[in-house]
Amino acid sequence: MQKLSRLFMPKLVTPKGSVTKNVEALSRSQRLMNELGLVKAAGNGFFHFMPVAQRSLNKLCNLVDECMLETGGYKVTMSILTPTELWRQSGRLHGDIDEFFIVKDRHGKEYLLSPTHEETITSILAATAPISYKQLPLRLYQLGPKFRDELKARFGLVRAKEFLMKDLYSFDRSDKEAEESYNIITSSYSELLKKLQLPFEKVEACTGIMGGKCSQEYQIISPVGEDRLLRCNQCQYAFNIDIAEEDGKGCLKCHSSSLTELKGIEVAHTFLLGDRYTKPFNATYLDSDGKPKSLVMGCYGLGVSRVLAASLEVLSSEKGLVWPALLAPYDVCIIGPKEGSKEQELGDIIEEEICTKIAEICGPDNVIHDDRKYLTIGKRLLEAKRMGYPLIVVVGGKSTGDIPILELLVKNHHHELHVDTVLTEICKYKDHKTALRKRCH
């Protein structure tokens, strides 16, 4: 079990009366994460993940890996530095390249700090002995840092210049089979966001510089969202306002003029690319007739650090963080009597017992014990509520009666319960999490 006294949470200390700069660019999640010492700013648009946020990020990464395994994805890691010549070959290094970080090595050779890896993966396939149609579909993904020199980095992890992304690339034999891959993978994205219990819309979007045939975005609905979306009240079709018809003809599908406008945080963008990259790079497969043909490609980006930030943004209140159950850094926080208090002697025994039992139920790694007994229960409870631990168990004044009563906070709702009932509730919560994780399987 982890001890809160040992946990490094470098809280932001704002001198009284000081004025915070750029306050308009601080979203709710960013402000709370800063204040609670979950992330530290590392310059404009760059962030460090401190231990508690890192735990949550690890959980999200594991969840993403599970989803990818189910879609038949194989994990790889591609070099972060990509020779710019590859991007010249695809034509993506023309026009406005200010968004790219470009670095030269000691010999003057230029590399991109990769914002995405379509060119790389396609060139790997092109440099390989052509794969057989029997090996298709091929779905390769990675989980790693990406870079974009945003003109306006905003809202902390929501729009950062260095961010964690999961990018998957699919290769198929035909458009039809590419669409099957597309459906399987995008379904897994919907599934993931449902597991996280986030309000989202899958919207038709612009293909932009990526190119290809069509694209869709996954948008978390939030007032701080920078994307404007339209959802048809008639047929539920949703699309990014970027692709709305200029003369405002309404729904792109059923032409209804009854549309609801929403704001969204884009957390994923998926594309059917056809041969946009495989043709220029000559990435082929050997078809059943023995002839080489261009692979049909799809790509699927998921902003992992952005999903975490967006989750906290839409679920939290001004008063404190609220985590998706599957991403909470710990399931339970346990707070015992203050040292020197009249209930300490008996309370400490109960505290120790309950720590052991809860660790057995949840696994020791999922329990955080606020052992800072030099602080009052009230002060520790206030902090625990701001941190948004899903369950908080307080061994307080009523714990030393003939029938010990503990306080249990479930999503910050107080209950006074017998020890056994507290444990039952914790078991229920664990079952709830398991069900959530396995939903629809």
18 binds a second copy (CB under 8 A): no
- Does 417 bind a second copy (CB under 8 A)? Our answer is no
11 forms part of the interface with a second copy (CB under 8 A): yes
Should residue 401 be labelled a site residue for a second copy when binding is judged by CB under 8 A? no
- Tokens representing 41 are 């700013």
Q: State yes or no: residue 181 binds a second copy (CB under 8 A).
A: no
Tokens of 80: 């972060």
For residues 290 and 345, give the distance between their C-alpha atoms in angstroms, rounded to a whole number. 81
Is position 441 an interface residue for a second copy (rule: CB under 8 A)? no
Q: Which of 20, 88, 94, 135 binds a second copy (CB under 8 A)?
A: 135
413 lies in the binding site for a second copy (CB under 8 A): no
Task: Give yes or no for residue 209 binding a second copy (CB under 8 A).
Answer: no
- Closest approach of Cβ 12 to a second copy, in Å? 9
Question: Of 19-27, 75-83, 289-297, 376-384, which segment contacts a second copy by CB under 8 A?
Answer: 75-83
Q: Between 57 and 406, name the residue whose CB sits nearer to a second copy.
A: 57
173: contact with a second copy by CB under 8 A: no
d(CA 308, CA 63): 12
Among 78, 184, 221, 436, binds a second copy (CB under 8 A): 78
84 binds a second copy (CB under 8 A): no
Residues in CB range of 342: below 8 A, 6 or more apart? none
Closest CA to 411 of 425, 440, 426, 390: 390
- HSE at residue 416, side-chain half, CA atoms within 13 A, is 8
Burial of 250-259, coded b for 16+ CB within 10 Å and e otherwise, reads bbbeeeeeeb
Could you tell me how far CA 382 lies from the centroid of its own chain?
27
* Given 1, 37, 198, 216, the residue binding a second copy (CB under 8 A): 37
Minimal CA–CA distance to 342: which of 396, 406, 417? 396
Residue type, 425: E
Residue 286, interface with a second copy (CB under 8 A)?
A: no
**Whole-angstrom distance, CA of residue 388 vs CA of residue 200:** 22
Instruction: Tell me the sheet residues that pair with 269.
Output: 217, 301
Interface pattern 89-128 for a second copy (x via CB under 8 A): ---------x--xxx-xx--x---x------x---xx-xx
Q: What angle in degrees, to the nearest 10, is found between the helix axes of 175-195 and 51-70? A: 140
Binding to a second copy by residue 58, rule CB under 8 A? yes
Q: How far is the CB of 192 from a second copy (least distance, A)?
A: 20
* Site for a second copy contains 72 (CB under 8 A): yes
Q: Mark the segment that binds a second copy (CB under 8 A) among 71-79, 229-237, 241-249, 337-345.
A: 71-79
Contacts with 254 (C-beta within 8 Å, 6 or more apart), sequence order:
232, 234, 235, 237
Q: Of 314, 324, 322, nearest to 222 (Cα)?
A: 314
**What are the residues binding a second copy (CB under 8 A)?**
5-8, 10-11, 13, 37, 40, 42-43, 46-51, 54-55, 57-58, 72, 74-83, 98, 101-103, 105-106, 109, 113, 120, 124-125, 127-129, 131, 134-135, 138, 140, 144-145, 147, 149, 151, 161-162
